[in-house]
Every structure is written in C-alpha cells, then in structure tokens.
Chain A
Amino acid sequence: MAGLGLALLNSLDIGLLLFIIAVGLNIIFGVLNVINFAHGALYMLGAYMAFALMAGLGLPFWLTLLVAPLVVAAVAILVDRSMLRFVYQREVSDSLLLTFALLLILNEAVRLIWGTGIHVIDPPVPLRGAIDLPGGLSYPRYSVFVLLVGACTLVGLWLLFNRTRLGKIMRAAALDREMAQVLCINTRLVITGAFAFGAWLAALGGAVAAPMRAIDPGMGDKIIIESFIVVVIGGLGSFPGALLGAIILGLIHGLGGRYLPDANLVLPYIGMALVLLFKPHGLMGARKSA
C-alpha cells in the first residue's frame, strides 16, 4: 500500500510539472494557431538559464525562479517578431515546420554555449532532504515544493483566464481572431504576448525542474513528446483538458513505471491513441470554429 501511495505522489509530481509546460503549449496553439515544436527547447532553455544564473552569477534560487523565465520570454518575443510572424496566416503545417527549425537551432545553440556535458544545480538549503511520511516512507522536500508551484500556477491561470480582462482578451483572440481585431483588440500584441507567456510557462517548468533533473542538451526532446501527449489527451486549447491530460500522463508514468516497467515506453502512446480513437479532439477539446 505504501508503494501505491508513493507511486501516486510521484504521479502528481510528474503530472503537475507537465501541466505547467503543457498549458503553455495550449495557450500558444489557442491564440496563435501554432503548434510550438520548440516548446521543449524553451523548457530546456529555462533550466539552463536557471543554471547560468545560480551557478554562474550566484543568484539565490528564489530570484532565479523569477528571472530565468523572464529571460526566456524575452527570447520568445524575439523569435516571434523575427520568424513566426511569417507563418501566422499560413496553414498549420508551416508553423510546425518553422518551430521544428527553431527547435534544431535552440538545441545546437545550447550545446555551443554550455557544452555537451551534464550540469547540475542543487535545490536551495531549506528545500533539501526529505519529509518523513507515515508508513516509513520519505518524500523529497523539493518534490513537495514542485507540487505547490504546480498548484499555485493552476489557480493563478484559472484566475487569469476567467476573472481578468487580459485573460478574456486572450480567449477572444483564440476563438476568433478577425472578430477580435474588428473589436479593436490589438491582436498583434495579444499574439506576441501569448507566445511569450507560453514560453514563460515552459521556462518556469524548466527552472523548477532543474534541481531535480540533470541539465543536458537532450532534456528538451524528451519533454516535447510528453507535452504533445498531454495536450492531445486533454484537448487542444482546453485549460482543464491540459490539467486532466497531465494528471493522466503522470499516472501512467508513476504507476506504469512502478508496476509495468517493461512497457513503460509504450504506455503513454497507447493511452494517447485510445483517447483519440473515442474522442478525436481530446477528452475536453472542442472543434474550433472555422
């Protein structure tokens, strides 16, 4: 029973981190109609930024968590203004291709700047070590922190989209760009802002994950497939869908890795295929109006 409990906690951990990243992907698709293949690379960039700020400049962890995603968001704005604006009006496959090109460029750039080796940063002192749980188990403090960050992001995003004007503008632009323009919403700004915000979320995920995982140039590739699966299971463009999808994928990893290790590579894809068979637009996705 203790094993199950640990596996579930693990699932929640993995799930919430994936949620932060997948929501960014959803926002970018929702508002820009762009599938951001480079989303994993932005996550990786967030992790490397955290490393550069903490290990290189010696910034404290809390400040790094603030600054690193902002830096990546700035990079995203640059990318949007210089590359993405050419493919907004074109068919979706073009944006997929362009963001794929961006992925290649970012991957190599990271390798050139920080080398090909593994980098490591430690959690700040108050978050090190483990908490003792009933049943003789211990759970790392930092993982609990990740749970908290995920929960706060969840609440914060919900409030943003449902209670603020900015959130409503983003949703409007996502639903019908021309109409939004007619209503004098500055769609240019909203688009760039959405992309930057999505990137910010991915980088936040990266910065939060950095003390838990080894930082290496391959980390982006792994996370992008995961985020795609989350978003497809949950439904493209759906916020609660992203949460549902992330939790499901977290459960697949946590429970599957524990009880079915021989199939743990294939399970997420089977899950994804199953969902799409019965609900082609994801569990909570809706068909976008033309």
Chain B
Amino acid sequence: MNLSLRLFFALAALVLLYALPALAPFFYIFIGTQILILGLFAASFNLVFGYTGMLSFGHAAFYGMGAYATAMLLQSLQWPLLACLLVSFVAGLVLALIIGFFCVRLDEVYFAMLTLAFGMMVFGVAHQWRSVTNGSDGISGFSVGSLGLGLDLTLGNPAVYYRVVLVIVVLAGLALHRICNSSFGLILRAIRQNPERVAFCGLNIRLYRLAAFTIAGGFAGLAGGLMAPFLRIASPELAHWSTSAEPVLMTILGGSGYFLGPFLGAGLFVLLETWITSLTQSWMLFLGIILALMVMFFRRGVLGTVLDAIQARQRRRQP
C-alpha cells in the first residue's frame, strides 16, 4: 500500500474515532476510552516484547504507578490533568529505570520472573502502605477538574473525556511509532533477533534494553494516568500480575510483529470481554481457549496472520 493511501485511511479512521460519541450508543464511549488507554498500555509493552524481545510480566507496575500518581495529585492538589499526566509519565519512567536496572542483566525466563516479582512488590507496597496509598481501598473520591493549557472542557462528561484521551493516545502513539521506527528501534529489533551479533558490533546491549524498558515504562505510566480518572479509583490491582497479563494477551491477540497489533488486540480483547460477559460468567474460560489457540496456531496474532497472508499472496503474484 503506498503512503498517501495509508495516510488517507489513517485520517479517515481518526475522524471516525473522533466522531464515535455521535455515532454509537452512549455505552460505547466507555468501551472506546478503555480500548484507547489499554491500547497505549499494550503498545508500550510491545516496545519491550515485540521489538526488544523481552517478555515482562510486571509491566503493570508502571501502569499502576502512573494511575496512583494522577489520582493522588487530583485528590490532594487538584492539578490540571495534563500536569498530572506528565508526572505519571515521569513516575513510570523513573520506576522503570530502577526496576529495569536490576532486570535487564538477565535473559528470558529469569527476566520474566524478576519483572513479575517487582511488579508484585509494587502491588504489595500499594496494598500495605495504608497511610499513603489507602491500602486495598485505593485512592478514590477525586474529581477531574480542568485539562490545563487554558482549555475549558468538562472532563466529567464521558464524551469529552473520550476525545481528550483520543488526542493524547494518538500523540503518544505517534511518538512511540517514531521511536520504534528510528535507528534505535532497528537496533532493538536486531537485539531481539541475535543479541550476540549486536554485541560483537560493539554496542552495549544492556544499555539499549534498559532504554527500551524505561521508555516503555513511561508510556505505561501515561496510560495509567489516563485510566485513573476514567475508573474514578486507583487501586492496588492495577499493579497486580493479572493486570500485567492484559497487555501480554492483547499483544499476542493483535500481533506483536506490527506496531498497530497491540491496539487491535486491545480492541478485540475489550469487545470480546464485553460481549462474552453479557452471555456468561465464564469469560476467563473463553479467554484462555482463545489465547491457547492463538499461541499454538496463530502466533503472529490477528493482524500478523492477516498481513502475512496478504503479503504471501502478493509475493505469489510476483514471480
């Protein structure tokens, strides 16, 4: 597909997304907001997983950190939302730097387990440090005031909040895309495919891994900061390993090999969940079966499998 056609479709999609509140039933505004935020969360995870080749099971630590940062600022200082989100981004960045420093020394399995451990440590701290985080009851009862930048928007209105989230997620996504497609991103992909080779070229792979991990943590923190006002509460579960598993699932579902894979995966995941939970209590069973099938037979995810098929057909046409 050539560039101008791609651009046209991207713009058309954005216009449609912006117009969603006017087109779809009211409830879908919430679905849409959720998909956007979780998509950003999953895309930040994919920077670490799909591009750099590290499976982290503790990514929700940064997401939770960002959520708490925004919630606490909104509750006690009532800062404009943009200021809170900036703090959430930085908080995620810093936490990822600290945790990443310990984790990126290790390979594969140990990395997964150690990120899991640190993620659960953040959960444990959030759960037990009642004086600061209010323990398992979480930080709630805050309202979202102003956006900042002098823009006067009633963020309490779900449609307005949805559009704000859309703009922020698109901007963040563009930034992330830039990073993934830069020379830095190329090196990350090389590290994933053959770390020894890259090391022989004289590059410090540990530093690159740490950088990727840190950047991913920042964007996860941003996603968390967007989620707290949406949920109206920041609770320890946001840092639990079961929350860390969500971007993993979404990325596998959508496809880890493409930038938009996680976003598509987030959309599929949330829609499936909403649809299946209205039919049965056993949503987890279907999720498990779908994930199993994806891993066994469609490892490239929905987007990956579809695009691979299209590319294969194109290649067959050109002898």
Contacts and interface: CB of A to CB of B under 8 A. Distances in A.
A263 B128 contact: yes
A111 interface: yes
A92 B124 contact: no
A245 B252 CA distance: 32
Contacts of A263: 128
A103 interface: yes
A265 B128 contact: yes
B125 interface: yes
Given A276-B106, A280-B106, A98 B295 contact: yes
A169 interface: no
A90 to B, nearest CB: 8
Nearest to B288: A104
Given A96-B55, A232-B113, A232-B117, A266 B128 contact: yes
A93 B282 contact: no
A93 B296 CA distance: 12
B109 A97 contact: no
A269 interface: yes
Contacts of A112: 282, 285
Nearest to A106: B288
Interface in B277-304: 282, 284-285, 287-289, 291-292, 295-297, 299
A221 B284 CA distance: 14
A241 to B, nearest CB: 13
A102 B292 contact: yes
Nearest to A274: B102
B105 interface: yes
A246 interface: no
A93 B108 contact: yes
Given A265-B128, A276-B114, A92 B241 contact: no
Question: Which of B102, B120, B292 is most buried by chain A, counting CB atoms within 10 A of its CB?
Answer: B292
B90 interface: no
B20 interface: no
Most chain B C-beta atoms within 10 Å of own C-beta, residue among A86, A103, A236, A280: A280
Contacts, number: 113
Nearest to A29: B109
A225 B241 contact: yes
B252 A228 contact: no
A178 interface: no
A83 B114 contact: no
Contacts of B128: 262-263, 265-266
Contact of A273 (B112, B114, B248): B114
Given A112-B285, A225-B120, A100 B291 contact: yes
A111 B281 CA distance: 10
A98 B120 contact: no
Contacts of A83: 292, 296
B118 A98 contact: no
A189 interface: no
Contacts of B118: 269, 273
B120 A269 contact: yes
Interface string A252-287: 000000000011011001101100110011000000
Interface string A30-72: 0000010000000000000000000000000000000000000
Nearest to A266: B124
B270 interface: no
For B57, B282, B288, B297, the residue with the greatest tally of chain A CB atoms inside 10 Å of its CB is B288
Most chain A beta-carbon contacts within 10 A, residue among B113, B242, B285, B299: B113
Select the residue from A100, A103, A231, A270 with max chain B CB neighbours within 10 A: A100
Given A105-B289, A265-B128, A276-B110, 5 more contacts: A91-B108, A102-B292, A273-B114, A273-B118, A276-B102
The 8 closest A-B pairs by CB, nearest first: A104-B288, A108-B285, A105-B288, A265-B124, A101-B292, A269-B121, A101-B291, A266-B124
23 contacts: A35-B113, A87-B295, A91-B108, A93-B49, A93-B108, A100-B248, A101-B292, A103-B288, A104-B284, A105-B288, A108-B285, A232-B114, A232-B117, A236-B110, A263-B128, A265-B124, A269-B120, A269-B124, A273-B117, A273-B118, A273-B121, A276-B106, A280-B110
